[in-house]
Amino acid sequence: MQPHLLPLLSDLFGGGHLRDELRRGFASGKTKPIAYRKEQLARLAYMVQENRDAFHEAMTSDLGRGTLENDFMDFQPALGEITDAYNNVEKWSKPQKPAFNINWFAMNPEIRKEPKGTVLIISPFNFPMVLILGPLAGALAAGCTALIKPSEQAPATAAVYARLVPQYLDPDACRVVLGAVPETTKLLELQWDQILYTGSARVAKIVLAAAAKHLTPVVTELGGKNPVIVDPKMDLTLAARRIAWGKFSNSGQICVSPDYVIVTEEIKEKFIKELLAVYATFYPDGPRHSDSFSRMATKNHAARMQRLLAETKGKIVIGGETEVEERYVAPTIVKDVEWDDALMEDELFAPVMPIVVVKDVDEAIARVNSREHALALYIFSNDASYRKKVLDNTQSGTVVVNDVVIQYAAYDMPFGGVGGSGTGASTGRYGYEAFTHFRTTVVGKGWLDSIILKNRFPPYTDAKLKA
């Protein structure tokens, strides 16, 4: 047992646990005024900015990432989500008017934006800042009180939250729980007004089953095998550079990492040649000691990749080395992968790029459609009709044409999955809305009984029916 878990466990198993305190905080009404929400968001932004070094050191310790990668993939996006919520909370919270309708306008119809209540945010390890602070910014902007549960697989960053959140945020509004499966299981036994879960589909089923007992709504942000379809007429230099960047960043541990690449036989060798050229420019002295290449979060994950790579039977083009003790899996390209190979079973979540061959775009579409809907689909093509064909005949949470991974940061657009890759969205305004109840409100006027509403009262005569 890690020592920092002890206060948590005593809290959960003893009396007066954190959820009840957060419930009291919400019931007091103090989190509802916009000024209070902005103050908490400002404090959150200060927490991030004033402790930049602590966050960077922790993320490097958890994921072996260099400062620049930490900064543009996690730190800045997290700060961006908080700032966006701070700047827009008034606008987002304004009541909405429905479209004008002659029968309803006199009843002052209005959609009020109200906080759902006390919410639980469960996060994965791979982006230990933005995947906690983004949803938390949404929850605080919505006027909710929130309990955050960082991943035990990013323990250094989790410890930073445990230390800093009590210093910066009102304890009536936000608390942190550190822990793994047993602690999260306990949290899921409690009733919440909303859960936002980011992680694997396997665990999402456990979260959803627990939430169902309380009819708690859940936003699920999951992953999946994200395909890349490359048009044979595409500029392969550009495609190779971008796909390799997306695949090898964060050691492939991104929910929107390109998982596998679909090409036709005619471009396969040229595409691989381009990938090898890019590989040499990314890691001129090799990836092993490069500051620009990170590590797997856990030895288990590295060992899983070691087992999978052992089954590739001579198809590795470059890479393939693993050092489980150091959580190292080399950026790896594997060619001539068959659709039923082990590498094609589950989401890889690692810097390993299988290349599969199809005869044409129709087969590519059919192959993509034979799997769960992915969180991301990537199309590399400059041909509008090729792109349209793929877009019109597939489903996925998001799509990017001629690039990868960037959609998580796309401004004012929902980020989320469909089907097996998740339900709901979690960024910006959409994150705020995940924690907000849209409350329909109408005001009945007495005088309306003599006009439009008069026929509703019994007796239901023929005259009323014909009116």
Q: Using an 8 Å Cβ cutoff, are 358 and 370 in contact?
A: no
Q: Write out the H or E segment, with its range, that includes residue 272.
A: helix 265-282
Residue number of the CB closest to ligand NAD reads 223
Beta-ladder partners of 228: 261, 378
Q: Is 373 a residue that touches ligand NAD (CB under 6 A)? A: no
**CA dist 183 → 18, 117, 150, 221 (Å):** 13, 22, 11, 20
Residue numbers 323-362 binding ligand NAD by CB under 6 A: 347, 349
149 touches ligand NAD (CB under 6 A): yes
Q: What is the DSSP letter of 75?
A: I
Question: Which residue of the set 255, 274, 347, 433 is catalytic?
Answer: 255
The size of the interface with ligand NAD (CB under 6 A), counted in residues, is 28
| Closer residue to ligand NAD in complex, CB, 55/415 | 415
Radius of gyration of the chain (CA): 25
Which member of 221, 231, 274, 433 binds ligand NAD (CB under 6 A)? Answer: 221
Q: Binding to ligand NAD by residue 184, rule CB under 6 A?
A: yes
92 near ligand NAD, rule: CB under 6 A = no
Min. distance of Cβ 12 from ligand NAD in angstroms? 14
Contact between 126 and ligand NAD per CB under 6 A: yes
Least distance to ligand NAD, CB of residue 48, Å: 19
Nearer to ligand NAD, 199 or 351 (CB): 199
User: What is d(CA 108, CA 122) in angstroms, rounded to the nearest whole number?
Assistant: 39
Least distance (Å) from ligand NAD to the CB of residue 305? 14
Piece of 112-120, 149-157, 159-167, 331-339 that binds ligand NAD (CB under 6 A): 149-157
Ranges within 128-147 binding ligand NAD (CB under 6 A): 131
Query: CA–CA separation, 6 vs 12, rounded Å?
Result: 10
Residue from 94, 20, 119, 40 nearest 434 by CA: 119
Intra-chain end-to-end CA distance of the chain, in Å: 74
Residue 5, CA distances (Å) to 10, 176, 184 in order: 9, 11, 12
Q: Among 222, 278, 296, 352, which residue interacts with ligand NAD (rule: CB under 6 A)?
A: 222
User: What is the Cα–Cα distance from 438 to 113, expressed in whole angstroms?
Assistant: 5
Q: Which of 8, 73, 348, 375 binds ligand NAD (CB under 6 A)?
A: 375
With respect to ligand NAD, which residue has the nearer C-beta, 234 or 374? 374
Would you list the DSSP string of 89-149? HHHHHSPBPPPP-TTTGGG--EEEEEE--EEEEE--SSSTTHHHHHHHHHHHHHT-EEEEE
Contacting positions for ligand NAD (CB under 6 A):
122-126, 131, 149, 151-153, 180-181, 184-185, 198-200, 203, 206, 221-223, 255, 347, 349, 375, 417, 422
